Amino acid sequence: MSHPAGHTPLRGSSKLRAHCPRCERPLRACLCAWIAPTANETPLLILQHPLEVRQAKGSARLLQLSLRHCHTLVGECFDPAALQATLAPQGPLQQTVLLYPAHEALPGPSVSAHTLVAAQTRLVVLDGTWRKSLRMLHLNPLLQKLPRLSLHPDAPSRYLIRKAHRPDQLSTLEATCMALAELEQTPDRYAPLLAAFDAFVAAQAGFHATRAPGTCP
């Protein structure tokens, strides 16, 4: 089966049910109806925790399928040499920043979006629960050294199908869209993707509300 460009699949996964060849989800949970092609100027690198790969409620896969410049690596503790090579300047990309809130336990350098040049910046996002993303940061010292871009959302998350650790916590898709909009100074560019995300969340909420007890998603 072919895999979408920019995605590093896991091997050896069970294929007991029919899967969509594009989004790689079971056909009944296909994401393709909500894909919103978006030409992001700032390239995105998603470092995804392995437990998120098959998470039906996860937002990273929809984000990756929608953004033009996006790559996903799956893992928890990455090989330092390989990660260093991935994060190094390449062509026009002269700076890599990590989208992550300030954290007392693992402090790091901070950066403001208005000081960065969108086309020369790579944005790194950790996709996982709050606890898992913090563990990924702890296990990968190279990530701790990256300048951190923090968000200050003025509205609560639309991600009503998963419990948030903090009131200001956003989904991977929401946080990334907000960060890219700030970096590129193009807030309207990501409105269609956020609208598609709202529709995805509503569909997931309706599906789980009507699913019979004891059945698989």
- The per-residue pLDDT for range 26-77, each reduced to its tens digit, is 888 899 999 999 999 999 999 999 999 988 788 999 999 999 999 999 999 9
User: Domains of the chain: which residue ranges?
Assistant: 33-205
Quick one: pLDDT band at residue 164, thresholds 50, 70, 90? low
* CB-neighbour burial class of residue 120 (10 A; exposed 0-12, middle 13-18, buried 19+): middle
Number of H helices, E strands in the chain: 6, 5
pLDDT tens digits, residue range 96-153? 999 998 777 777 789 999 999 999 999 999 999 989 999 999 999 999 999 999 988 7
Q: Which fold does the domain 33-205 belong to in CATH?
A: Alpha/beta knot (3.40.1280)
